[in-house]
Structure 1
Amino acid sequence: MSGKLSCSAGKCVNNINGLCSANNIHVVGSEIHSSKGTECETFMQRGFMNAMSNFTNMNLVGEFKQIFSRDSIEMSPEIKCEAENCVYNADRLCSASNVQVYGPDARSSGGTQCETFKEH
């Protein structure tokens, strides 16, 4: 399943104007009970080497569509999720239509969290 993903982790190589440009992301935090226990494992700090190694996970079609659409979010990554206690976890895929990853000061995945997490 794909969701529209907004992200405040401005130092992430996948963040383009608050949207996630990754094709696939992975949220971890298997037995947690709040968003604070989740992490976006796909986070990589901005830099040339990380940009090059992340090239195969870029959502190029979504990025191209987004250039021409200011009214809607066109970049929709597949969101794999290990948060077993989240109501949106459907067989380890996120079923939420809109996802918010938080991490304005993040320098690693440990500084991020899925704000959309909602316990069963």
Structure 2
Amino acid sequence: MTKLDCTVTNCFYNDDKSCCKGDIMVEGEEARESGSTCCGSFVEKKSSTAKNSVSQPKKDIEVGCHACHCVHNEDCRCMADKIGIAGTNACQCQETECITFACK
């Protein structure tokens, strides 16, 4: 499990910089820098969207990864001890990024 710090407060799954989804997927198959990655699990939080009261925010989370050129990617899984997902005020997944990405 990877410790996740997520500053994408406009995401439906974000609760106090933690994720309530349970697992996420980092996209960016051809990425060579963090700005070319994104959280593929991002869902914009809208004022009319009700939050699932069953899900609890977690810091330890499974992180799938399609960023093939990242040093932390092992068999499409993030093996970093801790990662950060950034994208304050994001409205779509392309406005987020994995700030822990490091090119091989």
Q: TM-score, normalised by structure 2?
A: 0.88
Structure 1 residues 106 and 77: alpha-carbon distance in aligned structure 2, compared to 1, 3 A threshold: same
Please give the alpha-carbon distance, in whole angstroms, between the structure 2 residues aligned to 1:9 and 1:44: 10
- Structure having the higher helix fraction is 1
User: Where does structure 1 lack aligned partners over 5 or more consecutive residues?
Assistant: 64-73
Please give the alpha-carbon distance, in whole angstroms, between the structure 2 residues aligned to 1:92 and 1:49: 31
Please say if residues 44 and 50 of structure 1, whose CA atoms lie closer than 8 Å, have aligned partners that are also in contact. no
Please give the alpha-carbon distance, in whole angstroms, between the structure 1 residues aligned to 2:96 and 2:81: 19
Structure with greater Cα Rg: 1
- Equivalenced residue count is 103
Aligned to 1:71: none
Matched position secondary structure for 1:77 = strand
Q: Which runs of 4+ in 1 moved over 3 A?
A: 47-52
User: Where does structure 2 lack aligned partners over 5 or more consecutive residues?
Assistant: none
CA drift of 1:50 comes to 6.8
The one-letter amino acid of 1:118's match is A
CA drift of 1:51 comes to 3.9
The one-letter amino acid of 2:73's match is N
Please give the alpha-carbon distance, in whole angstroms, between the structure 2 residues aligned to 1:115 and 1:27: 11
Aligned-pair identity in percent equals 28
Output the aligned Cα RMSD: 1.9
Please give the alpha-carbon distance, in whole angstroms, between the structure 1 residues aligned to 2:30 and 2:68: 6
- Structure having the higher strand fraction is 2
